């Protein structure tokens, strides 16, 4: 496997990379601003920001999407990039100079960003030939010795180093500004930081005590000869301590840091968020400290290490996703070793309890989806009911909420009709969304949090008569979807290596899709979970797929202005028996757990091989066997399920 080579730079040689004082957070109590698929006039916000930039003597200012924990999905109070740009997608970076502004995002959001950005902004389409990256655009804007500013808590240490090195080549510099300038523009309207209670995640769902997890982590630190591990990723902390929260919508995590040493375990979280049950759960094994004292304590750890005498003391381990601010307060490269988090690796390999929970919750979730699709077709076709995309999404959530261990959704439901389906991460908003067209393709990408697992399923249906091209495109996507599901590969194979299996049939006709084929999924945790996945991103070359990984399988195809197609199941990597054992290797494959039918009338059987057709029929038979009992008293849904799972023939 390949790893990116770390860049080693002396911090003292970069005048702008200086240790910072402990950071503090403030909050207000106003509601979140509202943004839909329309544009927002950002002129006044940008004018205020540029005034602050001049006062702080910076010529370019970077506004990342992430919070201080590098979370993909964030609390409303941390939606700074959305506030300043008007773009509400989950991924992207805004860069503002004194005269221009640009927003960089990936292929999932090209259509959405084009609709939401006003005339103040240039859209930088990431990965498109000839389009600069946000780092290149920043460097060009800062040419000639200008200063680039950023909140150091919102950018990783490695990201800061690489950008500083690039800027230095043209005489420019990177400056860490403690007070976030967008927060100052946002002012009293900025939402307050969530303070919801933390909950215990019982061992009957977690499969392992937090004491055993910490013991395993300490063994890892000892083998690497590290003084301790400072943890900043919220899902890693939730997993490690068997705790869950609700501070970020759809992600059962809570704002916190943690420090694990050979002898201590410290959890940095506001104590008023801890119920008596949580305090009893943690007992004397964990010391509770105030959330915002992490930076001061990091400096204290750094100072204590610097003052030690004798043999060179061990360094601290810090995730390569941790913030520049945290790294600097720990003493920078002299005191810290940045690496992929050992917790991320351990969390991605589910234990048998977690795997069984995934199987069980996907059967319940599949039954809920089946009931929903049967209801939706009946409303649209038989009752001629007028439903918009939000009406439908709300009904799906209501159906799911009836099922055992329901804890909420795992992301905003993508309920999209016709051309909206081509907006890959489309979010319907009441008042601006579309009425569902029964003569057009309908795409629904949705997921749920259950105490025993996390789901993520996409189904594409046509409740009328699809045309020939729609069926052809759907079936090409289906063929790639089946290719991933049935893949067998040797241990050590990465998701990067097998991504081509999902695209091969589209490529043969000059078609493709601009998103990854699969992402890791947490166990009652974040629906997007690293470090594994299937796609063309470089990071997917670094970590091979391992038995116990839970991943999505979701190829697609999108016709701008017309329709979107995506089929998504959750699959679990497992060992498989093969007729031969070349090189005594272990061989892996996938077990699918999603249990709801694939859009039958969109399949063109003549495009499927005999093996692929058998796979479809076997899969539908499995769905019937595992879910039909949910509908013994629901004739409408049972008839729909029976029809949709009947064998298909050429």
pLDDT of 133-149, one tens digit each?
999 999 999 988 899 99
Does residue 616 surpass a pLDDT of 50?
yes
pLDDT at 309: 63
Confidence tier at 306 by pLDDT (50, 70, 90): confident
Element (H, E) at 619: helix 610-627
Residue 287 parent element (H or E)? strand 287-289
- Buried-exposed string 383-406: b where 16+ CB fall within 10 A, e elsewhere: eeeebbbbbbbebbbebbeebebb
Structure tokens at 17: 């990379």
Which residues, including other chains, have CB under 8 Å from residue 44's CB and lie 6 or more apart? none
> Is residue 465 scored above 70 in pLDDT?
yes
Give 11-189's CATH code, choosing from 3.60.150.10, 3.40.350.10, 1.10.3720.10, 4.10.320.10: 3.40.350.10
d(CA 23, CA 69): 13
Per-residue DSSP letters for 312-361?
PPPPEEEETTSBHHHHHHTTGGGTEEEE--HHHHHHHS--HHHHHHHHHH
Dump pLDDT digits (tens) for 111-130: 899 999 999 999 999 989 99
* pLDDT at position 219 over 70: yes
Domain 352-644: CATH architecture, name and number where available: Alpha-Beta Complex (3.90)
Q: Identify the DSSP state of 435.
A: B
Of 205-214, 467-476, 579-588, the one with minimum mean pLDDT is 579-588
Q: Is residue 36 very low, low, confident or very high in pLDDT (cuts 50, 70, 90)?
A: very low
pLDDT, residue 18, reads: 39
| pLDDT at residue 425 tops 80 | yes
Question: Residue 369: what are its φ and ψ, rounded to 5°?
Answer: -65, -40
Read off the pLDDT of each residue in 227-250 and give the average, rounded to a whole number: 97
Q: Is the pLDDT of residue 249 over 80?
A: yes
Assessment of whether the complete model's pTM goes beyond 0.85: yes
Mean pLDDT in the chain?
Answer: 92
Long-range CB contacts for residues 299-303, cutoff 8 Å, separation at least 24? 299/19, 299/22, 299/329, 299/330, 301/227, 301/228, 301/230, 301/259, 301/330, 302/329, 302/330, 302/331, 302/335
pLDDT at 44 over 70: yes
* Domains 199-341 and 352-644 alike in fold: no
DSSP class of residue 245? -
Was domain 199-341 assigned CATH 3.40.350.10?
Answer: yes
Which pLDDT band holds residue 170 (cuts at 50, 70, 90)? confident
Q: Tens digit of pLDDT for each residue in 543-586? A: 999 999 999 999 999 999 999 999 999 999 999 999 998 988 89
Within 8 A by CB and 6+ apart from 103, the residues are 81, 85, 87, 92, 93, 94, 95, 113, 117, 121, 122, 123, 124
pLDDT score for 39: 87
| Predicted local distance difference test score (pLDDT) of residue 332 | 87
In the chain, where the domains are located: 11-189, 199-341, 352-644
Burial class (CB in 10 A: 0-12, 13-18, 19+), 5: exposed
Identify the CA nearest to 434 among candidates 380, 494, 390, 372.
390
């Amino acid at each position: 496997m390949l790893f990116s080579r770390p860049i080693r730079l002396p911090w003292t040689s970069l005048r702008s990379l200086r240790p910072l004082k402990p950071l503090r957070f403030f909050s207000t109590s106003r509601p979140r601003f509202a943004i839909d698929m329309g544009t927002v006039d950002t002129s006044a916000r940008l004018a205020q920001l540029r005034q602050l930039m001049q006062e702080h003597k910076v010529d370019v200012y970077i506004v990342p999407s992430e919070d201080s924990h590098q979370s993909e999905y964030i609390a409303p109070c941390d939606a700074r990039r959305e506030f300043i740009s008007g773009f509400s997608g989950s991924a992207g970076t805004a860069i503002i100079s004194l005269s221009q502004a640009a927003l960089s995002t990936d292929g999932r959001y090209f259509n959405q960003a084009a609709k939401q950005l006003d005339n103040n902004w240039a859209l930088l389409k990431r990965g498109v030939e000839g389009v600069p990256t946000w780092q290149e655009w920043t460097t060009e804007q800062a040419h000639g010795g200008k200063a680039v500013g950023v909140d150091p808590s919102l950018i990783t240490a490695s990201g800061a180093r690489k950008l500083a090195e690039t800027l230095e080549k043209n005489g420019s510099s990177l400056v860490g500004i403690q007070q976030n300038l967008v927060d100052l523009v946002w002012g009293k309207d900025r939402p307050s930081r969530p303070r919801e209670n933390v909950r215990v995640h019982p061992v009957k769902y977690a499969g392992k005590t937090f004491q055993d997890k910490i013991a395993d982590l300490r063994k890892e630190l000892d083998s690497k000869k590290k003084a301790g591990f400072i943890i900043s990723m919220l899902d890693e902390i939730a997993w490690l301590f068997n705790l869950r929260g609700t501070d970020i919508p759809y992600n059962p995590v809570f704002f916190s840091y943690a420090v694990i040493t050979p002898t201590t375990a410290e959890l940095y979280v506001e104590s008023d968020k801890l119920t008596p049950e949580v305090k009893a759960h943690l007992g004397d094994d964990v010391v509770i400290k105030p959330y915002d004292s992490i930076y001061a304590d990091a400096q204290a750890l750094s100072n204590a290490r610097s003052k030690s005498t004798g043999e060179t003391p061990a360094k601290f381990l810090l995730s390569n996703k941790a913030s520049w601010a945290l790294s600097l307060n720990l003493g920078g490269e002299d005191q810290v070793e940045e690496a992929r988090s050992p917790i991320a690796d351990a969390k991605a390999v589910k234990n048998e309890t977690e795997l069984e929970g995934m199987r069980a919750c996907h059967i319940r979730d599949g039954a809920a989806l089946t009931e929903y699709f049967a209801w939706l077709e009946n409303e649209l076709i038989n009752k001629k009911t007028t439903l918009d995309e939000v009406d439908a999404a709300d009904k799906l959530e209501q159906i799911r909420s009836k099922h055992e261990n329901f804890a909420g959704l795992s992301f905003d439901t993508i309920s999209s009709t016709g051309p909206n389906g081509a907006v890959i991460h489309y979010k319907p908003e009441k008042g601006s969304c579309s009425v569902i067209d029964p003569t057009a393709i309908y795409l629904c990408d949705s997921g749920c949090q259950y105490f025993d697992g996390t789901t993520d399923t996409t189904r594409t249906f046509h409740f009328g008569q699809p045309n020939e091209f729609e069926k052809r495109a759907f079936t090409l996507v289906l063929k790639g979807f089946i290719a991933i599901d049935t893949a067998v590969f040797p241990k050590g194979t990465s998701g990067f290596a097998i991504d081509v299996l999902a695209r091969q049939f589209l490529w043969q006709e000059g078609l493709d899709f601009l998103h990854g084929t699969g992402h890791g999924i947490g166990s009652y945790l974040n629906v997007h979970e690293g470090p594994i996945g299937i796609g063309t991103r470089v990071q997917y070359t670094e970590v091979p797929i391992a038995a116990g990984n839970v991943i999505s399988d979701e190829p697609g195809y999108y016709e701008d202005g017309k329709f979107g197609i995506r089929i998504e199941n959750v699959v679990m990597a497992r060992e498989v028996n093969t007729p031969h054992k070349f090189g005594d290797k272990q061989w892996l494959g996938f077990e699918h757990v999603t249990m709801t039918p694939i859009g039958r009338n969109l399949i063109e059987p003549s495009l499927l091989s005999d093996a692929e057709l058998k796979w479809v029929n076997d899969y539908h038979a499995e769905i019937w066997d595992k879910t039909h009992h949910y509908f013994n008293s629901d004739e409408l849904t049972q008839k729909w399920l029976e029809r949709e799972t009947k064998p298909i023939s050429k």
